């Protein structure tokens, strides 16, 4: 692993942790459905980051998730943040144009 990869991993970890921390702080202060979906999207994106880094180091693979479910879990973790963001945006669009 070269220094570029280490910097990339550290940036993903630090920025994802910061975004997740702020999202959790906001979660306790908001009850808006659209914001809740954004917050869950941020947290699932950080979960995917952690999972992919663990897999990169050979830690997260078959030890945590059975081999038969690994591809499904990877696809799910990659797609879920975007699905939550789409749900949040759809709620906002419906609110904006429904009135």
The Cβ of residue 89 has, within 10 Å, a number of other Cβ atoms equal to 13
pLDDT at 77: 92
Map residue 18 onto helix, strand or coil.
helix
pLDDT at 62: 62
Q: In terms of Cα–Cα distance, which of 34, 4, 18 is closest to 95?
A: 34
pTM of the model: 0.88
Question: Which pair of tokens denotes residue 84?
Answer: 């939550």
Average pLDDT in the chain: 91
Question: Which pair of tokens denotes residue 65?
Answer: 């998730």
Share of the chain above pLDDT 90, in %: 69
Expressed as residue numbers, the domain containing 42 is 3-98
Tokens 């975004």, residue located:
19
Residue 48 has pLDDT above 80, yes or no: yes
Q: CB of 37 within 8 A of CB of 84?
A: yes
The Cβ of residue 93 has, within 10 Å, a number of other Cβ atoms equal to 11
Q: How many domains does the chain have?
A: 1
Mean local confidence (pLDDT), 40-64? 86
Mean local confidence (pLDDT), 72-89? 95
């Amino acid at each position: 692993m070269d220094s570029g990869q280490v910097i990339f991993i550290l940036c993903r970890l630090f920025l994802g942790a910061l975004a997740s921390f702020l999202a959790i702080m906001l979660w306790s202060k908001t009850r808006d459905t659209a914001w809740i979906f954004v917050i869950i999207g941020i947290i699932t994106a950080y979960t995917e980051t952690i999972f992919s880094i663990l897999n990169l180091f050979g830690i997260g693979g078959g030890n945590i998730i059975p081999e038969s479910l690994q591809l499904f879990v990877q696809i799910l973790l990659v797609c879920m943040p975007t699905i939550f963001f789409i749900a949040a945006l759809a709620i906002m669009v419906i609110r904006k144009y429904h009135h």
